Chains A and B, each alone.
Chain A
């Protein structure tokens, strides 16, 4: 070391010749130590990194793959798929395609793989499942010539549109879940068109999720701003006490808080009872404040409000009161001083809280499911519906992936404004 100090002023070029006590060049030795340091730091983080990749990122990746995956059809109908590759799509194909289909269905009926393909095709065109399964039930009676045999079982097999559908969905990957998720579909000619009106639902749901989340964010800002301001300006003794009123809800289980809103808002609930007792409404005129959009908005605003108040509070805490005093002494009237001097300084807090609340709101599931009724359901509720009831997992995965992309985009903006490292908890 003494050697290095003595010649440090001699320029970087000479650094190569310096050696440590055991004779290795100083530069190499330093690099080695640095590498060891880096490796050690990485090894500390590695177990968690591996754990998150396995338990969390791989599932997410799996979901994204599932949203385009289409292996049911090429796997259950391999011969048909092969024959249709060279089909010109102009007219119902000939005997070779029917023969391939008949063999595929016969085999699929035997080893029970045909059901999945039938369900999969049914997502595209209702009626496909009964057509295929009906044919599969009579598979052992099918004999050449297969075209006549199949048409006899069900003359829908003579429909050009069905063959076009088979051809279109014969790849291992499909875009049809994504088209479905934004209310588009293929018509008989294979062009992309809007779904028939009665089946259009997801675009409306995405919009509803966006505007309701925006409204909830706006309401939390409106309600959270004065409270955060009060907490930031009161003396610490009072502020800490009042802070409990914000932190207790923050720490209380989401399910508990949703339950409390059912108790308060339902027609036989506390709020209606109170209004009847006060004579504001009659016993027959009880208000429907829950199981609709109002329920979702009231409950979600209350649940997400702490996420707005806390970042606002931490920004406001850092604003010196002397700015306002200076503005006043320079002649600004209170509203002007507030609007022109105070508010601009709180913008980072509003941005952080606003994006945080918005991100949380667009992915909310529990509260809308319990208090939202029909009109208060958000896009998440339809992901759950396709996961658990309709079992159209591909569509659930496609909607989920779109939602995820939106959240990640918003999060990137949040990261720009606040930075992950500055995220505060409690």
Chain B
């Protein structure tokens, strides 16, 4: 970083280092709170702060008791199960519907594209508190409130814009003559879709699905309104944990959720590179 062109003066050098320091501080602001949670979740004491033992790296000051707590608690296990059931079902629904719609939207003769696109994107734009309240009113009239199905439908609706956006973006680079070639070689619509189109847009579909999954998995506002006791998810359990009896088990949960985010981020990055390779662009 220290290679400056010869015309750069002293003042400018000083400014450059100041600028780097500022950036460093912003990065710390972004990442430090998240990283700090990890060691704190291994605290042997029921505190939310570093004990003297922890700072001295005394092994006795660390323990996995909050993780044991989490995995032996009935309500947490219940919420893990719910979170996965709801997120997987919502992802499935969102990905299937979203991919189909994106295929339609990318065809050259789509009628009223702008209007339909803005309707399909709308769940992403409306603040969650409004969606939550509105869905509560409507779903309770048709007996969908406080059911798994209701929460799944709501989460699928929130996830579809991400699928539509990522798949549409992938289709921008899609060579439509491949479809004609497949048809020419005797493939029908179904075979063309599964053997030609789907493998090529797979990175977009999978990253859309990941977005939809994490949207449902982390979502708390809608669940707050729509879920009954039976539908409690991990974020809802955390929410009430933070509001009522705060315990370091929350930090253990948070650490595990951070791990999941890292896995998601890594998979997405991999997909992005793969997709760029397929289109003949070299990664980054």
Contact = CB atoms under 8 A, between A and B. Distances in A.
Interface of A: 34, 37-38, 40-49, 51-53, 55-60, 62-63, 66, 223-224, 226-227, 230, 236, 240, 242, 244-249, 251-264, 266, 268-270, 273, 302, 305-306, 334, 359-360, 362-366, 370, 380, 383-384, 387, 393, 396-397, 400, 403-404, 407-408, 411, 415, 420-421, 423, 425-426
A315 B176 CA distance: 29
Interface residues of B, number: 92
B34 A57 contact: no
17 contacts: A37-B109, A42-B110, A45-B101, A45-B104, A49-B120, A52-B120, A52-B160, A59-B137, A248-B34, A252-B258, A255-B218, A259-B37, A365-B128, A384-B133, A393-B137, A420-B117, A421-B117
A256 B34 contact: yes
Closest 8 CB pairs of A and B: A363-B127, A44-B104, A59-B138, A45-B104, A260-B33, A48-B101, A63-B134, A59-B134
Contacts of A264: 33, 36
A366 B221 contact: yes
Given A49-B101, A255-B220, 10 more contacts: A47-B100, A62-B138, A226-B19, A230-B19, A245-B30, A257-B34, A259-B37, A363-B126, A366-B221, A420-B121
With a 10 A CB-CB cut-off, give which of A59, A270, A305, A362 has the most chain B CB atoms.
A59
Contacts of A60: 126, 130-131, 134
B130 A403 contact: yes
Contact of A57 (B33, B100, B122, B139): B122
A56 B97 CA distance: 14
Contact of A47 (B97, B122, B153): B97
**Dominant SS at the B interface?**
helix
A248 B157 contact: no
Nearest to A253: B218
**Dominant SS at the A interface?**
helix
Interface of B: 12, 15, 19-20, 22-23, 26-27, 29-31, 33-34, 36-37, 40, 47-50, 93, 97-98, 100-101, 103-105, 107-111, 116-123, 125-131, 133-139, 141, 153-154, 156-157, 160, 162, 164-166, 168, 207, 211, 214, 217-218, 220-221, 224-225, 235, 238-239, 242-243, 246, 250-251, 254, 257-258, 261-262, 264-265, 268, 284
A360 B127 CA distance: 7
With a 10 A CB-CB cut-off, give which of A55, A306, A393, A407 has the most chain B CB atoms.
A55
A302 to B, nearest CB: 6
B37 A383 contact: no
B50 A263 contact: no
Contact of A52 (B110, B123, B135): B123
A56 B33 CA distance: 35
A362 B250 CA distance: 27
A249 B128 contact: no
B284 A236 contact: yes
Nearest to A42: B111
B158 to A, nearest CB: 8
B129 A380 contact: yes
B220 A55 contact: no
A226 B107 contact: no
Contact of A256 (B166, B254, B262): B254
Nearest to A64: B134
B157 A66 contact: no
Contacts of A421: 117, 168
Nearest to B111: A38
Contacts of A426: 207, 211, 268
With a 10 A CB-CB cut-off, give which of B48, B50, B130, B242 has the most chain A CB atoms.
B130
A87 to B, nearest CB: 34
Contacts of B118: 415, 420
A258 B220 CA distance: 13
B269 to A, nearest CB: 8
B100 A48 contact: yes
A41 to B, nearest CB: 4
A396 B122 contact: no
With a 10 A CB-CB cut-off, give which of B127, B136, B162 has the most chain A CB atoms.
B127
B50 A273 contact: yes
Given A259-B254, A260-B34, A52 B119 contact: yes
Contacts of B37: 256, 259-260, 263
With a 10 A CB-CB cut-off, give which of A58, A242, A259, A384 has the most chain B CB atoms.
A259
A49 B214 CA distance: 22
A379 to B, nearest CB: 9
B98 A230 contact: no
Contact of B127 (A258, A403, A423): A403
Nearest to B163: A48
Given A60-B134, A366-B220, A270 B36 contact: yes
A251 B214 contact: yes
B100 A268 contact: no
Nearest to B8: A334
B251 A259 contact: yes
A222 B56 CA distance: 37
Given A226-B22, A256-B257, A387-B136, A57 B119 contact: yes
With a 10 A CB-CB cut-off, give which of A263, A273, A360, A426 has the most chain B CB atoms.
A263
Contact of B129 (A43, A45, A55, A365): A365
Given A248-B265, A270-B49, A45 B33 contact: no
Contacts of A55: 135, 153-154, 156-157
